[in-house]
Structure formats: C-alpha cells, structure tokens
Amino acid sequence: MPAQIYLNQLFMGLKLYLRIPAAMFWMIAFPIVMLIGMGTIFGAHSDPNVRLVWARASTASPTDDQLTAALAEEGLSAEVVAPAEAEVLWGQGKLPAMLEGEGGHYSLRVNSYLGTQGMQINAMLQQGFLLAQARAQGAHELDRIPVHTSSPGGRSDGPYAAYLLPGLLGLNLLMMGIFSVGMVDVTLREKGGYKRLATTPLPRSIYLAAQLSVRLIVMSISAALLILTGAIVFGIHNQGSYLSLFALLVFGSACFISMGYLMASFARNVEVYNGIANLVFLPVMLLSGVYFSLDAAPVWLQRGAELSPLASLLKALRAVFNDGASLFSQWSDLTLLAGWTAVLFALAVRRFRWV
C-alpha cells in the first residue's frame, strides 16, 4: 500500500510539473539554449585569428609590411583602415584595441571597457613587433616555448563549451532547489495546500519522497539532454564515469533542495520569497564560476567564492566530465559540499512547517 501511494503521488507530481511551461523551459530548455548560444559565441565556431584595426594610410612601408607578416604569424590579423574611418569605429565602442601610426612609429589604443580582449591584442602585438624588429636588424630569432591547450587534468582540449556544460549542470541544480522546490513550498503553504494535505491520510514522508523523486527525474532528463546536445553540437563527451557524474548530480541535488526548503521557511508569501531567492541566487551563480573563471577577480573574492557549495560542485563536475577524475580524487570539494548539505538539511528540517 505505501508503495502504491508513493507511485500515485509520483505520477501526479510529474503530470503537474509537465503542465507548467515556465518550469519546463527553465529546467530543460534554458540550459540547452545557453550551451548552444554561449558555446558558439565564445568558443567552438569562432575565428581563431584575432582582428586588429590599424589606423594608417593604405600605402605600407617595408617596416609596416614586416610588422604585418609578424603579426599574422602570431595569429593577429591587421585590418588597415583610414584614420578618419577608424575614429568612427572607435567611437562606436566596438574595438577592443586600435593600432595607430606607420613606418616604425606606432602606438596602441586599448578600450578600457574591453580590457581583457584589448590586453590580449596588446600581448600579441608586442610579440609581433619584437619579431619584426629582430628580423629587420638581422638578429637571430630565439626559440619559443611550445604551447599546448589542455584542461587542468590534461585529458581534454575541448572548446569553451566543455567548460560551460558542467557549469550549466550545476546551475540547473541550484535553480531547481531555489525556484522549483523553495517556490513551490512557499506557494503551497500560502494557499493552504499543506493544511489540506495535513487533514488527509497521506503520510508526509511519502509525499515528500514523491516530490523529491519528481525533481530528481526532471534533473536526470535535463542533464541527459544537455550532455547529448554537447556531444552533437560541439563534439564534447564525458571523459569520466557516468555513475560518478550521476552521483555528483544527486549529491548536488540534495544540497540545493535542502537550501530551497530552508530559504522557504523564512518567507510567509511568494513576494517575500522572490526577494530572498534573488538575493541568494545571483551572487552564488556569479561567483561560483558557472560561465567564466574568477581568475581576474581580487584574491580575497576568489578565496571566498571557493567556499560556496556550487563552486565545490562545479570543480568536481568539471574534473569528472572533462578529465575523467574519480570521485575519491575530489574528496576536498566533496567534503565541503557534504558539510554544506548537512548544515542546510539540519536547518531545513528544524525550520520546516506545514502551516
């Protein structure tokens, strides 16, 4: 009998979930859209050559030709534009950097709003300029250190999408806990749903188990579709054990579902919960390295961000997915995640109420 009641609650929960288009979009479609969109913009299908606008006359001196050739070897393509036209492009704010001058007398203007791209161009330009000078003076060219692109574990050299995909897997769990679990908990309490359930013979344990199972099923479907999209669109594959990957997803689900229930216990209505949810969700998402690494942030901010449960989960997910690491090798991050889960679960149980 308890098993039949559980299955009835499970199927009912899945039907209700499928009837909410917004929930299906954010949990299943949104991660796929973000993977394809950001993976295409920032990685897999971008031109490997970096373009530099060069403001000068169209007639080039031998020195300019030598610099152009050296820049091409560095992977930097120089597009010659008349000075007046270059100023118009610069004023539009779309150029990360602009080279000015000719005949060996040059200066580089870097856009302060696009500092990361501008400094990348600066480094390549300086290297090309030194190379052109050495050749012009007949100096011997020094050997260069070979450069190899690889993930931290050395197993993958995939595009940006390979970094992004595990981040979206973890972000999906955070969204599930905060918006799917916490929001539903507040809504049911506010509208008297829990009060009506309390008057039925439905055991609370079975109800909660069915609700958690619904979330885990939706999470598994979303993760499978996201991994399949990564394989088809970008050619990236899980380098580790799928069992280890699934275990991390379940572990992360337990953490963020507990977080959702705990956050819901502080809100009497949906309006209050929306404020609490955004106050927690946005900093955790931005500081945990979902989309980009925080290596350019202040050291104190990097150290603080490493303590978040999502950051620990993402490090383990990327290690397993991109480098085939074992769960045991990620013991430090898993220990931190387990600590967060234990604390959040204990507080959620203590503060949980039906009415």
* pLDDT for residue 156: 62
pLDDT of 250 reads 95
Q: What is the pLDDT at residue 281? A: 95
Question: Residues 50-57: what's their mean pLDDT?
Answer: 86
* Residue 47: predicted pLDDT: 47
Tokens of residue 64, six digits = 């300019």
Q: What is the pLDDT of residues 185-232, one digit of tens each?
A: 898 888 887 778 777 787 877 887 888 899 899 999 999 999 999 999
User: What tens digit of pLDDT does each residue of 101-136 get?
Assistant: 998 899 999 998 887 788 889 999 999 999 888 888
Residue of higher predicted confidence among 123 and 354:
123
Amino acid occupying residue 242: Y
Inter-residue long-range contacts of 282-291, CB under 8 Å, 24+ positions, other chains counted: 284/174, 284/308, 284/310, 285/171, 285/174, 285/310, 287/311, 288/170, 288/314, 289/167, 289/314, 290/167, 290/168, 290/170, 290/171, 290/314, 291/38, 291/164, 291/167
Q: What is the mean pLDDT of residues 73-87?
A: 90
Looking at residue 153, its pLDDT comes to 67
Tokens standing for residue 309 = 């449960």
Residue 53: φ, ψ to 5°: -85, 130
- For the chain, the average pLDDT equals 88
Query: What domains appear along the chain, each with residue ranges and CATH number?
Result: 2-42+159-351 (no CATH), 50-136 (3.40.190)
State the average pLDDT over residues 152-163: 76
**Residue 140 pLDDT > 90:** no
Minimal CA–CA distance to 179: which of 290, 28, 23? 23
Residue with tokens 């705990």: 262
Cα-trace Rg, the chain? 27
The one-letter amino acid code at 174 reads L
In this model, does residue 48 exceed pLDDT 60? no
Between 49 and 51, the higher pLDDT residue: 51
Average pLDDT over residues 79-83: 92
pLDDT tens for each residue of 237-264: 999 999 999 999 999 999 999 999 999 9
Sort strands 50-55 and 76-81 into parallel, antiparallel or unpaired: parallel
Find, among 164, 143, 149, the residue nearest to 48 by Cα.
149
44 pLDDT above the threshold of 50:
no
76-81 sheet: strands from edge to edge:
76-81, 50-55, 97-102, 105-110
pTM equals: 0.81
Q: Is the pLDDT of residue 49 over 60?
A: no
| CA separation for the pair 280, 26 (Å, rounded) | 18
